[in-house]
Amino acid sequence: MTTLPHDDLGTSWRNARPRAAGVHLDSAACSRQSGAVLDAVARHARHEAEIGGYAAEAAAEELLQQGRSVLAGLVGRAAADVAFTESASASLRTLVGRWRLPPGSRVGVLPGEYWHNLAALTDAGLTPVVLPADELGRADPAGVARVLRADPPALVHVTLVASHRGVVQPGRELAELCRAAGIPLVLDVAQALGHVDCDLGADVAYGTSRKWLAGPRGVGFLVLAPAESAQLTPLVGPHLFDDGGADTDHARWYESHDAHIGGRVGLVLAIGEHLAAGPDRVRARLAALGRATRERLDGRGGWSVAEPLDTPTAITTLQAPDGVDVRATAVRLREEHRVLVTAAGRERAPAELTGPVLRVSPHLDATEDHLDALAVALAG
């Protein structure tokens, strides 16, 4: 059995949070925020009540700008490239809605692309085209290279870690291929940032606060290289201002101003906690948790693990035995065993899934005992 490294991370992560009401193995849905993050969000809300929302936002601007800088560094960009948004979905809608692409422009995607991303692309008048992948849904770099040479799309959109399967896409190789072909690469890092390495050379990255970074819900981010930002048209742009918006970073034109500023403050605190824990150590423990989960669960009660054992993520998806209701199982685990997991429906990736799967996603504070409790519950 796999031994979990960096037990100090598990202890400190656990001690920094309110006590869980059961076994929380659902971080791919929404992680548990720390007490410091919860306090920071509440403190900002109180500050708004005391001095007014805009004054409180101005007072938080230095902290938010520091957060933009650190967040940008995690995906290999600069603070000026970061826009705070309300969610990963809002980020993608903003991106494709403001990008000056002709109707019908083709966007390269992988077979397991998240359903909402596909919906946003088609709603913007774009045409998804499927790129070559292996039997696990991972991009085939050689096949992608052939497509980019022979019939290049306008851009490539890849979800680095999917919500229905814990495999990691070869993001760095794809970035190199796209760069050589002169095609922008957009990475959805909603399930990846705070989980796996995201500094891969993409032109655009977007994601959310609430998953592996363990920040508040209702906050996301969009990170744009200047060359890609120049292809977008802001709804309200610099041309309306007397100074041409000279003092505004280019990505800030895509931030909403009727926003949950306290949530953005909380995200910045959560990013700081991630850095303090050490991103390399975090990735190592999460990968070990994923391996330990697969070792314990594969075959239990007839359930089978979809990912290879050594997949370097903490996400494990389980395929049900014949006749077992996945959604009912998730409810039973929560109500009878106080174990929280997700029943992920086929609609998430209809080109890859043949039915719902049970998704298990422990964070740093999970223990072998938590995983064993789930194994026993599944076997029963």
Please state the rounded mean pLDDT for residues 253-273: 95
Q: Which of 189, 182, 233, 237 is nearest to 74 (CA)?
A: 189
Q: Is the pLDDT score of 22 beyond 90?
A: yes
* CATH topology for the 7-25+278-379 domain: Aspartate Aminotransferase, domain 1 (3.90.1150)
Please state the rounded mean pLDDT for residues 179-205: 98
Q: Is the pLDDT score of 254 beyond 90?
A: yes
Distance CA 342, CA 163 (A): 10
Which of helix, strand or coil describes residue 136? coil
Kindly indicate the confidence band of residue 15, based on its pLDDT and cuts at 50, 70 and 90: very high
Q: Is the pLDDT score of 61 beyond 70?
A: yes
- pLDDT tens per residue, range 112-167: 999 999 999 999 999 999 999 999 999 999 999 999 999 999 999 999 999 999 99
Q: Is the pLDDT score of 257 beyond 90?
A: no
How far CA 288 is from CA of 313, 329, 357, 362, in Å, comes to 8, 25, 21, 10
**CATH for 37-277, among 3.40.640.10, 3.40.50.300, 3.30.450.20, 3.40.50.150?**
3.40.640.10
Q: Is the pLDDT score of 36 beyond 60?
A: yes
- pLDDT tens per residue, range 340-358: 999 999 999 999 999 999 9
Kindly indicate the confidence band of residue 62, based on its pLDDT and cuts at 50, 70 and 90: very high
Distance CA 187, CA 168 (A): 12
Of all residues in the chain, the percent with pLDDT exceeding 90 is: 94
Select the more confidently predicted residue: 60 or 246: 60
Mean pLDDT, rounded, of the chain: 96
Return all residues near 319 (Cβ < 8 A) that are at least 6 apart: 303, 304, 305, 306, 355, 357
Distance CA 185, CA 205 (A): 9
Please state the rounded mean pLDDT for residues 369-379: 97
Please state the rounded mean pLDDT for residues 91-118: 97
Q: Is the pLDDT score of 238 beyond 70?
A: no
What torsion, rounded to 10 degrees, do the Cα atoms 212, 214, 215, 220 define? 10
Please state the rounded mean pLDDT for residues 296-316: 97
Identify the pLDDT of residue 105.
Answer: 98
Sign of CA dihedral 285, 308, 189, 115: negative
Q: Is the pLDDT score of 242 beyond 90?
A: no
Residues of the chain with CATH 3.90.1150.10: 7-25+278-379
Q: Is the pLDDT score of 360 beyond 70?
A: yes
Residues of the chain with CATH 3.40.640.10: 37-277
Identify the pLDDT of residue 296.
Answer: 98
Identify the pLDDT of residue 256.
Answer: 84
Kindly indicate the confidence band of residue 1, based on its pLDDT and cuts at 50, 70 and 90: confident
Please state the rounded mean pLDDT for residues 29-34: 98
Identify the pLDDT of residue 244.
Answer: 53
Return all residues near 120 (Cβ < 8 A) that are at least 6 apart: 89, 92, 93, 96
Identify the pLDDT of residue 152.
Answer: 98
Identify the pLDDT of residue 235.
Answer: 76
The residues facing 296 across adjacent strands are none
Single-letter code of the amino acid located at 3 = T
Q: Are 201 and 76 in contact (CB under 8 A)?
A: yes
Q: Is the pLDDT score of 377 beyond 80?
A: yes
pTM of the model: 0.97
